[in-house]
Amino acid sequence: MSKTVLVAVDGSPQAAAALEHALAQFPDADIVALTAIDPVAAGYASAPGPDGGSYPGEWVEQANERADWILDEAVETAADEGREIETVRVNDRPARAIVEYAGEEAVDHIVIGSHGRTGVTRVLLGSVAEKVVRRSPCPVTVVR
């Protein structure tokens, strides 16, 4: 039975480094690239409409397009290394999505970037990475 490694990807340089690390360090593992669409963050990021309200359908569409782009980039990165990976898109808060997927799918290891593309960063570790490290059902590697 092969090992399954979950890599959190969000379009940030740290996530790209995490994927490259996983591909190099786990050559025989099944790699799963997961991106999460955070409904709360996506709602805050939506642009206001002309009447002051926002267009909910627009941020959903934009978030899905960005997620597709992020996952396509992950597939291309793996292909450049001669590997095929599985991709997963989840609509949930990133830390919760990563931990729940790892538990439900019997993931053996998680690889995550130290900081993501958005949010308030902490001195040593991003808030998503910190939550994943604390709550993960399996070992976690944090890549700078």
Residues 50-78 pLDDT 10s: 555 555 668 888 999 999 999 999 999 99
Three state DSSP letters for 31-78: EEEEEEECHHHHHHHCCECCCCCECHHHHHHHHHHHHHHHHHHHHHHH
Residue 78: count of CB within 10 angstroms of its CB: 21
Distance CA 64, CA 84 (A): 22
User: What does the pLDDT profile of the chain (144 residues) look like in tens digits?
Assistant: 689 999 999 999 999 999 999 999 999 999 999 999 988 775 555 555 555 555 566 888 899 999 999 999 999 999 999 999 999 999 999 999 999 999 999 999 999 998 755 444 444 457 899 999 999 999 999 998
Query: 4-42+56-142: which CATH topology?
Result: Rossmann fold (3.40.50)
Instruction: Give the integer Cα–Cα distance in Å for 16 and 10.
Output: 8
Asked whether the beta carbons of 7 and 18 are under 8 A apart, the reply is yes
104, burial (CB in 10 Å: exposed 0-12, middle 13-18, buried 19+)? exposed
